[in-house]
Structure 1
């Protein structure tokens, strides 16, 4: 069988079959793809897990399929994966680099109702964007507030969830006196953004779960003696115009959410 050089536009099912046939032809035997590599070693070399749902079973009324997919997602999250990829096998199933289509979707923990943590945070700094985001600010450095120390403590960088119109709006908003000459003494973070902002607005940020961070200083001393708490896979949801910066999520709020999350962490190992 002759293998075409350009396979990107072919459906995923056909690309997988051709990859298998190509391997068989190259090695002239019945070697499986996995036989070409070493055995799996937990934490070092592992094959991506996958499951296939055929069209006749891919309906919202098929309880068995829904249970199987939910279990697959939960297994991925328990393994500390960001989520899963859902790909169409046959319809609109080509591979188009740098293009988003309905045939290739991400399902993350924070996309699933009941599996998210939401914070109200303040942008205190940013970097200059690259590539398509050149000329805008991206990512933004987000912070919570500690009323005990009167500090804004960094939680995460966020660069997901913004529209182009919002990027333009924020480039106009964070200008003039809102850009600070240097880091204020009441900003606590190890991050070094290219510019510092005065605390002006509050944004709702949603992420997957919390982790101990040597860089971010949110709730430092409340969970870990020298490290703060950060949120994994943060995403901008919307602005909160009726909230003052000092009314955002507090360090105590974040420490409580960290301690109550399902995925427990051994904090003593993070010295």
Structure 2
């Protein structure tokens, strides 16, 4: 089995070719930077793979930083053992993800409010997943969407949320004080505050967090968000503000050109 990664809009999608051994996959297509690329690789020999080898750690860190600088989610660390084949939807020590938020992530987490959700599919059928998360702008008294989140939840938490977000907590339509281009299956009244951590912040044509504070016609979104915990001591209007989001965007180490309209 060979494995390549297709880079489309800086997001990697895995494609498997089964039953084609010993074939150079680069001969099957022509690369175009930013559209179709073979995933870069770095091989570490077994005698260099001990945790105390500073030279190896430096090489791996450099490889990770290069991937993050290219706006990739991170890297995959794969064992080259014979029995280390890829199995879809199964976790294995032979294939490990290393992402920005596993290393450092945002300098601070965000406290966001779930304002809507989509119906879950597959194993999550019958629950809400993903959730639409929003910050608060006290100047306009608006909840502005920042991201969808579907990572970090336990099954028991999904069940608890399905029971809690019911009845009059489900709104018939989108309130005028919700700012977002997203259209979830259900809109919720602002009731909860969750701590969310992600890789970094980026401008978004869909999410309206800090709209107009960083970019004239776009908001700010969190890349690769993950649920950390529920904050029972916070009220919805005490969550992260639009100004907080803008300040964090400017403070992050990964800089972006936001001069475009």
Q: How many residues align?
A: 247
Matched, 1:261 2:252: yes
Structure 1 unaligned regions, length at least 5: 1-6, 9-15, 24-31
| CA RMSD between the two structures | 2.1
Pick aligned residue for 1:189 from 173, 176, 180: 180
* 1:50 pairs with 2:41: yes
Task: Indicate the larger mover: 68-77 or 85-94.
Answer: 85-94
In structure 2, the CA distance between the partners of 1:226 and 1:88, relative to structure 1 (3 Å rule), is same
Q: Give the match for residue 120 of structure 1.
A: 111
1:140 aligns with 2:145: no
Confirm or deny that 1:249 pairs with 2:236. no
- Aligned partner of 1:111 in structure 2 is 102
Matching residue of 1:27: none
Q: CA deviation at 1:91?
A: 6.8
Partner of residue 78, structure 2: 87
Stretches of structure 2 lacking an aligned partner (at least 5 in a row): 3-16
Please state whether the residue corresponding to 1:268 is helix, strand or coil: coil
More helix by share: 1
TM-score normalised over the length of structure 2: 0.88
Pairing of 1:228-239 with structure 2 (within 5 A): 228-239=219-230
Once the two structures are TM-superposed, the CA of residue 92 in structure 1 deviates from its matched residue by 5.1
How far apart are the structure 1 equivalents of 2:78 and 2:106?
Answer: 22
User: Structure 1 residues 138-147 or 254-263, which shifts more?
Assistant: 254-263
* 1:115 to 1:76, Cα distance in 2 relative to 1, 3 A: farther
* Paired residue secondary structure (1:144): strand
Task: From the CA coordinates, give the structure whose radius of gyration is larger.
Answer: 1
The runs of 4+ residues in structure 1 deviating greater than 4 Å are 114-117
- Residue 198 of structure 1 and its aligned partner are, at CA, apart by 1.0
